[in-house]
Structure 1
Amino acid sequence: MPVMGKHGNETEHDSSKIGTHIENVVRALHKPVLITSAPFSPPKSFLIAFDGSQTARKCVERIASSPLLKGLAVHLVYVGNPNSEMQNQLSWAKEQLESQGFNITSNTLDGEVDKAIINYAEQHQIDLIVVGAYGHSKIRQFFIGSTTTKVITSANKPVLLLR
């Protein structure tokens, strides 16, 4: 699995920016990439940022079928209105993970997605944040930004990007 530093030579002293190559590398590889900003230590817990999208569902399936994060505490987090469709999606994700032996804590949060995820991770001392990587087009990102980029920028913990 590729591991990249969060900051490049031009952004190493500015915590509000990430290196310019991260998105390009992630889009080109189509493989998991770990983004870190400090020396890495093995995680004891991780958070899955889940929105019910196809990208998020693939993330859950990959985690459930991989030995990489087995045995760790899992927080499945959705930010937004907890309507019945989303509850069904969360139930599906929880079942996928539990069927593979994961112990799940599931939560629905309010607020801006990136800030809610980061705050939750800090409050619950999460060691690793797992997100789907760049699920939308570059044009859409230009106009409204990318939640993935905002999470990477704001996180003080490693972020595992899954495609």
Structure 2
Amino acid sequence: MKILIPVDGSEGANRAVDYVINSLSWLKDAPQVFLLNVQWKLATGNVKLFISQDTINDYYREQGMEALTPACQKLDGVGLAYSYHISVGTPAEGIVQYAQEQQVDLIVVGARGHETLSSLLLGTVADKVAKLASVPVVLIK
């Protein structure tokens, strides 16, 4: 089984990792776990006139690894193999695209505990993933 866990460093994402770890006893074989962090694209317009693409890429990598580290530590702690990827774009669309590319069987996504007004009006990333994905999505509160 291939499981994708989108992570952003939040408590919700950590709960999603914990859920997968706690679900290991249910599975016949250890799953193939994919961690994904999607960074919002920052470089638009004239930004590239002042900041090099290498600097922007370093920023994406730094921020992505900061978000991925807690999940990696949890999986390392239980000896569960995983791969990780950092992409740039719109989170929900990036998650669904990566899930399709990796042909995952399940997406386990954490929900945030506090909703903002904009997320109540426009929907959360988790909601959008659930609507766009062609595979089952488990929402962890």
TM-score, normalization by structure 2 = 0.74
**Larger helix proportion, structure 1 or 2?**
2
- Distance in 2, matches of 1:93 and 1:82, equals 17
- Distance in 1, matches of 2:113 and 2:97, equals 22
- Give yes or no for the alignment of 1:73 onto 2:42: no
Residue type at the aligned position of 1:73: Q
Give, in angstroms, the shift of residue 53 of structure 1: 0.9
Alignment coverage as a number of residue pairs: 120
Query: Structure 1: which 5+ runs fail to align?
Result: 1-43
Query: For residue 3 of structure 2, what is the aligned residue in structure 1?
Result: 46
Provide the alpha-carbon RMSD of the alignment: 2.1
Give, in angstroms, the shift of residue 60 of structure 1: 1.8
Describe the shift of the 1:138–1:85 C-alpha distance in structure 2 as closer, same or farther (beyond 3 A).
closer
SS of equivalent residue, structure 1 residue 92: helix
Give, in angstroms, the shift of residue 139 of structure 1: 3.0
Q: Is the 8 A contact 2:111 2:140 kept in 1?
A: yes
Give, in angstroms, the shift of residue 156 of structure 1: 0.5
Give, in angstroms, the shift of residue 92 of structure 1: 2.4
Residue type at the aligned position of 2:136: P
More deviation, 85-94/142-151: 85-94
Q: Which runs of 4+ in 1 moved over 4 A?
A: none
- Distance in 1, matches of 2:23 and 2:105, equals 18
More deviation, 104-113/61-70: 61-70
Give, in angstroms, the shift of residue 83 of structure 1: 5.2
Q: Write the deviation string for residues 26-67 of structure 1: whole angstroms up to 9, x where unpaired.
A: xxxxxxxxxxxxxxxxxx110001011121122223323442
- Distance in 2, matches of 1:91 and 1:136, equals 22
Tell me which of 70, 84, 91 is aligned to 1:92.
Answer: 70
- Distance in 2, matches of 1:60 and 1:124, equals 18
More deviation, 83-92/121-130: 83-92
SS of equivalent residue, structure 2 residue 37: strand
Residue type at the aligned position of 1:102: L
- Give yes or no for the alignment of 1:120 onto 2:120: no
Query: Structure 2: which 5+ runs fail to align?
Result: 40-58
More deviation, 87-96/152-161: 87-96
> Identity of counterpart residues, as a percentage?
31
Query: For residue 107 of structure 1, what is the aligned residue in structure 2?
Result: 85
Residue type at the aligned position of 1:78: N
